[in-house]
Amino acid sequence: MARGRGHADSLRLAFDAEPALLVVVRRAVRLWLAARRWRAEDADRVVSMVDETVGNAMEHAYRGEAVGQVEVDVADEPAPAGHRARVVVADHGTWRTWDTDRRRGNGLALVRALASLCEIRTDACGTRVTMLVEAPHQAW
């Protein structure tokens, strides 16, 4: 199940870690950014980061466990050169060590390349990834 709440400057989604819901999450974030008048290329970066980090949570956080929840928070904040998105993706599962398959594992490198900040925190309560995307131009 996916549920969400959107306010003028923030969007909060909470949903089961079911891969079929990833398309719903991407669409919700894209629509919210469009309503905030984000340029398409800046919104694409945000949606790509959400896609990758939510996909990681769905694939890894609850492996071998009952399906858990994933949460996405997106905030549109003022920044010195325009505005930025603060994106937080959180799960309540267990951090997994890196897969030894070298054909995989490039997702976080992609996120780090797209974001001006990417912090990953893990503890007994789960994993929390915080990302910032600078967007110097408005489509006004």
Q: How many domains does the chain have?
A: 1
At 94, the amino acid letter reads: T
Residue with tokens 């919210």: 32
**Residue 98 located in a structural domain:** yes
Looking at the domain assignment, is residue 73 inside a domain?
A: yes
pLDDT band at 67 (very low <50, low <70, confident <90, very high): confident
Look at residue 32 and tell me if it is in a domain: yes
Is residue 51 within 8 A of residue 22, CB to CB? The reply is yes
Indicate the pTM of the whole model: 0.85
Residue 41 belongs to domain spanning:
2-135
On whether residue 66 sits in a domain, the answer given is: yes
- What's the CATH code of the domain at 96? 3.30.565.10
Establish if 72 belongs to a structural domain.
yes
Q: How far is Cα 24 from Cα 69, in angstroms, rounded to an integer?
A: 15
- E-strand stretches of 1-140: 2-7, 10-16, 69-79, 82-91, 117-123, 126-135
Cα torsion through 74, 78, 81, 83, rounded to 10? 30
Task: Identify whether 31 is part of a domain.
Answer: yes
Residue 98 is which amino acid? W
For position 60, what pLDDT does the model report?
85
Structural domain includes residue 140: no
In contact, 37 and 99? CB cutoff 8 Å: no
Q: What is the pLDDT of residues 18-62, one digit of tens each?
A: 999 999 999 999 999 999 989 999 999 999 999 999 999 998 888
